[in-house]
Structure 1
C-alpha cells in the first residue's frame, strides 16, 4: 500500500516536469536575425516574392526557408501576400482636379446623383480564355456533350456605348466603327435624350468621360443646342463612375455563358445588360456620397471603388 500511494503521489510531478516536455516542440525555422531582416525587407519592397525573400534571408546558404515559413512569419506582423489592386495612374494635376470635383459635390445626396445619366464605352469578348469551369459529372462523362467547355480559336470583340442611372440601365449601342466625333454624335442623337427622359425626366444631367471624341466642338455644340447640362467629369476617375462597376459585372456574366459567335455575343450582352435591373443601379448610385467621402479622405487619390 505504501508503495502504491508513493507512486500515485509522484506521477503528477513527473508529467509536469521540464525534462518530460523537452524536445516536444519543433524549433523555429528562422532565427531572430532572419526575422528582423525579413520584416525590414518586406516593408521596404512589398512586391518582393516569397522565393526571393527566402533566398535573401538565407544568405545563399543550403538551408533554404520554405514559402510557408515566409508567409507564416509575415502573418505574425499582419502582412499577407495578396493580388495587387489596380488603380488609375494619377498625376498631381489629376489629383487636384479630382479634389476640386469632390469639393464641389461632397454634399450631394442620392437625389442629386439620381439626376445624372452616366455613360461610357467598353467592350466584351468571346473566344478568349474564360478560365476553368467546374462541373459535376460521373466517371467517363468528361467528353460527353454538355459536360465539356466549348472554345474557339479566334477571339471576337464587340465594342459598345451604354448609359445608366439610378432608375436602371439605359441603351446599349454596338459600335461598328472607330469612335470619332461623327460616330459619337450619331450615338447621342439616337439615345441621349431618349435615355435621359425615360430614366429621369427632362431635367437630367449628362456624364461622360474625357475621351477626345467627347470633347470636340461639334459635341459641345450639340449638347448646348439640346439644352443638356453636362456634369464636368475629372480625368482618370473611373472609380467615381458607377457604370464602371456595371461593366465588370457584365463582362463576368457574358464570359460565364461562353458565347461562341458574334451573334451569340451580341444577344447575350444585351440580355445580361438589361437583366442587371434598377435595384442594382439604384445601389450603385447610392454609393456615390461614400465615393466622394473616400476620395476626400484619400486627398484626391485612388479609392477602393
Structure 2
C-alpha cells in the first residue's frame, strides 16, 4: 500500500518547531511522526523553501515502492514464479497492474525471464561423489592433468543448427524462402562419434556404426586408444578418462584395461561438466554446421576435418584451467556448475516448444499488443538435439 502523506499543516508545524531551535528527535516526539519523516520535510524546505507538494515529472508509477519490493522479493525467492502469479499477488493487495508493468519493475533490478538451463539430475549420492572427486584431485599438479586422455561420445545431426538466426521481415512473409531455415524431418539423420584429446591436442575421432555396445566399444579402444596416446606422446603411464556408462564399466571392458596396463580415472556419475571434451564437442558442432553438410558422408568428413583443425592451444587451455572446474564443484558442494554444456535434448516436442515460446516471449507479445506497436521484429522457431536456436513470433 502507498505510504501515508502528511498534511500541509503537519509539515508547517515541523518547520515552525525547527525554526524555534528544536532538534529532529524532539520534533518527532512532539508531533508523533517518524524522525526520518521530519528530516525529509526539513531537507525539502531547505532546498525549495516550501512545504507544498511540488509538481511531479510524468505520470506517477502504477506500483508503489512497497509492492515493487514484494514483487522483487517473490521473484528472487521463487525464480520459477510466472508473471500471471505475480500479477495475481498484486491484485490481492489492491494494485491490479499489467504484466508488462511487473516485468519492467523486475528488469530494473536485473531480473529477466530466461529458459532454465538443463542440468543432470544430481542426487545426494551424486553430489557426495562429485565433491569427493574434486577435493581429492584439487591439489594434483598440472603435469598430472597433462597425462590424462579425455574421451566421450557425441551425436552429430545433419542440418542441425547451433546458432540463433534472426531475420528482418514484414508481416505475412514468414514462409518466404529467404526468411526460413531449411530442415529435414528428424534432422536428416545423424551419426555417433567417439573421440579423445589431451593437452597436447586432439586424438582419434571415430564414427560409431549402429548401436554402441560393450564389444563395439572395446573394438574402438583397441584400434584407437593406444594409437592416440602414442600420437599425443603421453608415454606409457598415462591416465584414461571415461564416464560411467554400462558399456564403459562392463567387466570385459575393465579386464581389457587391466590387460593393457591402462590406468582408468575414477569418475563421478552425472558429471559432464567435469569433462573438458564437452567444450570441444561444442566447438566441433559449431564449425561443422557452418559448412552445411548435405549428407551423412559429408557430415562425417567435415567432422574429422574440423576435429583435426582444433588447435593445440585450445586443448592445452582447457586442461590448464581444469582446477577451476574442481574449485567450482567444491564451491557448489558437489552441485551443478557453469561448465555443463548439455542442451535441451528432451524438449524437442512441439507442445513443449510452444509452452516455452509463450513463457519466454509473453512479455514481448503483451508489450506489442498493448502499446500498439506496428513495426515488429519477427523471428522463426528452430530446434536441434542440443538447444533452442531461436524462438520468434510468427
Gaps of 5+ in 2: 1-47, 169-175, 340-394
- For structure 1, the residue ranges without an aligned partner over 5 or more in a row are 1-15, 137-141
Aligned equivalents of 2:49, 2:157: Cα separation in 1: 69
Q: CA deviation digits over 1:221-280, x for unaligned, max 9?
A: 111111111111111111111001111222222223222211121111112211112111
Aligned residues of 1:116 and 1:207 also touching (Cα < 8 A): yes
Q: What are the residue-to-residue correspondences of 1:75-94 with 2, within 5 Å?
A: 75-94=107-126
Which deviates more from structure 2 when the two are superposed, residues 125-134 or residues 278-287? 125-134
Match of residue 219, structure 2, among 157, 170, 186 = 186
- 1:246-285 to structure 2, matched below 5 A, reads 246-285=280-319
Aligned residue number for residue 57 of structure 1: 90
Asked if structure 2 preserves the Cα contact closer than 8 Å seen for 1:29 and 1:65, the reply is no
The CA RMSD measured in Å over matched residues stands at 2.8
Alpha-carbon separation, structure 1, partners of 2:236 and 2:63: 69
Taking a change above 3 Å as real, the CA distance of residues 285 and 214 of structure 1, as seen in their structure-2 partners, is same
TM-score, normalised to structure 1, is 0.82
1:1-305 alignment runs, 5 A limit: 22-59=55-92, 63-67=96-100, 69-128=101-160, 133=165, 150-155=182-187, 156-199=189-232, 200-305=234-339
Number of equivalences: 282
Higher relative contact order (CA 8 A, sep 6+): 1
Shift, 1:54, TM fit: 2.8
Q: Corresponding residue for 1:12?
A: none
Contact residue 197 and residue 204 of structure 1 kept, 8 A: no
Secondary structure of residue in 1 paired with 2:210:
coil
**In structure 2, distance between residues paired with 1:30 and 1:205:** 60
**Structure 2 CA distance for partners of 1:242 and 1:57, relative to 1, 3 Å:** same
Q: Taking structure 2 as the reference length, what is the TM-score of the superposition?
A: 0.65
Deviation (angstroms), 1:219: 0.8
What is the SS of the residue equivalent to 1:284? helix
C-alpha separation between the residues in 2 aligned to 1:302 and 1:131? 24
